[in-house]
Amino acid sequence: MIATIRDVAKKASVSVATVSRFVNDTGRVSNETAFRVRAAINELGFRPNAVARNLSKSHSRTLGVVIPSLNNPVFADAVAGINAEARSCGYTLMFTSTDYNLEDEVRTVSTLLDYRVDGLILTVADSNISLIPDMLKNAGVPYVLIYNQPSTYQHPTITVDNIGAGWEVAQALIGLGHERLGMVAGQFLASDRADARRDGFINGAAEHGLKEPIVIEVDFVSPHLEKTLAPIYAERETAPSALFCSNDLLAISVIGALGRLGLDVPKDVSVIGFDGIAVGTHLHPTLATVIQPSYEMGRAATRQLLDRLAGKDCPMTKILPHTLRIGESAGPATKLSPAFLINSNQKKQWRPSK
């Protein structure tokens, strides 16, 4: 629970006005009193700036933005939309990233509160278990989640139908004749979006009576995909003929890793990503992907946050439309190439072709 100015006053055995004078440096406080107030602040973890803002009702005209990664273009697109809408309304941004680290989420939000932002737009690891929403509610700071799955706790959220999109990917691959499906996903504890996409994908396969897709969980920041995929594709007769990746950066890495293992995309393995980042259309093969409207998502989140700051009623959840683009990286299922079939008289130890 976040400490209030009254908690500090009670702990230090002084009045609220005395704590306010000490925090804001607006009046004289004796050395003895200052010592007690400072000790109480340190012990309770009180954030003077955040509460001082709430007491004075002043506004910084600044919005905080917290995203998982600065390396993924999908988040850059969202920040561009946030910035465009914020600037048009006279607001500036302070933004930071967490590198999918749960502890960094708390630290970065605490820092933004200390800088007295008026509200926050953020993507957390999992909106059902994150401590951030309660932290912001206790501080009296409006917020909107972006990309996250709608939560049972009714957090204001702008996103797409991740479960439905995963289901559509399964239908598309099955429609191309694929029966052995797999998924490469970032860590589910760090992304409720990847978790939801997996659920939709598995459900889509189950509806057609297919074996449950193999799920390969990797680190978002530095996936060692070639090493991870090699043993799976050593058994080519049972390895997935199509892979769904939880984001486009992973899909691009998967295509590269498969190529280094001597596999052709899409002849040997089809690959579909998620996000619709622009670079995907410039690759060879062009990337098949689920396109989510990140720029508009950013604008919509900003509009909702500013409406909340103005005291307007807003819908808790807004689902924006997504589009499945079947690029060149997803093709019809084919029989295994003889170059990759393992002679039954040999040990089943796969080596990439030269």
Tell me, what CATH number does 186's domain have? 3.40.50.2300
- Residue 73, domain member (yes or no): yes
332 preceded by a cis bond (ω within 30 of 0): no
Angle of helix 5-12 relative to helix 31-44, nearest 10 degrees? 130
Q: What total of structural domains would you count in the chain? A: 3
Residue 120, domain member (yes or no): yes
Dump pLDDT digits (tens) for 159-174. 999 999 999 999 999 9
**Residue 248 belongs to a domain:** yes
247 and 336: one domain?
yes
d(CA 174, CA 177): 5
Q: Is residue 9 part of a domain?
A: yes
Name 146's Cβ contacts closer than 8 Å, sequence gap at least 6: 78, 121, 122, 123, 157, 158, 159, 297, 298, 301
- The pTM (predicted TM-score) of the whole model is 0.78
Tell me whether residue 276 is in a domain. yes
354 lies in some domain: no
Looking at the structure, tell me whether residues 126 and 186 fall in a common domain.
Answer: no
| Claim to verify: residue 167 and residue 277 sit in the same structural domain | yes
Note whether 334 and 205 are same-domain residues: yes
176 and 143: one domain?
no
Tens digits of residue pLDDT in 274-324: 999 999 999 999 999 999 999 999 999 999 999 999 999 888 899 999 999
Is residue 353 one of the residues assigned to a domain? no
Do residues 85 and 147 share a domain? yes
Q: Is the pLDDT of residue 351 over 90?
A: no
CB-hemisphere CA count at 13 Å for 318?
Answer: 19
Q: Are residues 175 and 270 in the same domain?
A: yes
Same domain? 220 vs 332: yes
Nearest in space to 160 (alpha carbons), one of 148, 151, 172: 148
Structure confidence by residue, pLDDT tens digits, 199-219: 999 999 999 999 999 999 998
Tokens (6 digits) for 320 = 């924006």
The whole domain housing 313 covers 62-159+294-321
Q: Please provide the average confidence, as pLDDT, over all residues in the chain.
A: 88
